[in-house]
Amino acid sequence: MKKFWNFIQNEDTSETELLFNGPISEDTWWGDEVTPALFRDELAKVSGNLTVWLNSPGGDVFAASQIYSMLKNHKGKVTVKIDGIAASAASVVAMAGDETLIAPTALMMIHDPSTCAMGNKADMEKAIILLDEVKESIINAYETKSHLSRNKIAKLMSDETWLNAKKAHEMGFVDGILFADNKKSIPENGDEPDKKEPDEEKTEKEDSLTAMTYSKSKNLSAFLSKVSASAEFVTGTPIDQLEKRLALLKY
């Protein structure tokens, strides 16, 4: 059975590191998916501080919830380091870190939960209620870490938002950026840069945050509005084909 994690001993620090790679699943339906029960057994053997190197596209939200709870319950300090991607359910696991860091080149993605349902109208309505409650439970983890408002988080999820390292840090989803150089550049004349008024700084910060966010729905609309006037676009690739291609960005 192939696991998506591996506990190793760091020779330099003598602390345990957890290499977390692959999709998360509650059941062993596929060769690269394993149960949280096995994860629990291996985690129980670890004492002291734990570093989690996280690179996962997500998976089963309930399995991720269990892993989140197990990491939060660990007696030592848990440091999560996102070195590739923490998307969907994996972003919930990232919230379990007492300290969560992200590589400059890594990404985080949050979106609304999804499911498959069949049956009559009442069955569909029950599925919608379930999805609403699952979303609220996920927001709980994001809110605890980021301290953003629930409405803000809910909107980010509905927009299927991709966050680069700077945006994830600015919004509080992570506590810092790996390998970051905190030294500030100093002007050649040695003088401090002119201080900006609070409102001006706030406006620039909001603009920079917007620039660092990728929302599939917003970017698709902006892109289509720019190219819709092009004769080449009108006579070339149909909009429905373009949407299908952009949909491949979703795991």
User: pLDDT digit string (tens) for 14-68?
Assistant: 789 999 888 988 666 556 666 788 888 999 999 899 999 999 999 989 889 999 9
Encoding tokens for residue 240? 């429905």
Kindly give the pairing relationship between strand 176-177 and strand 16-21: unpaired
User: pLDDT digit string (tens) for 190-200?
Assistant: 455 455 555 55
Q: What is the mean pLDDT of the chain?
A: 80
Could you tell me where the DSSP H helices lie in the chain? 36-43, 61-72, 89-94, 121-146, 150-158, 165-170, 198-211, 216-227, 231-235, 239-247
- What pLDDT was estimated at residue 210? 47
Which of 67, 81, 74 lies closest to 34, judged by CA? 67
CB 83 within 8 Å of CB 108: no
pLDDT by 10s per residue, the chain, length 251: 567 888 998 888 878 999 988 898 866 655 666 678 888 899 999 989 999 999 999 998 988 999 999 999 999 999 999 999 999 999 999 999 999 999 999 999 999 999 888 999 999 999 999 999 999 999 999 999 999 999 999 999 999 999 999 999 999 999 999 998 754 444 455 455 455 555 555 555 445 454 445 555 555 555 555 545 443 434 444 445 444 444 433 33
β-pair partners for 20: 5, 54
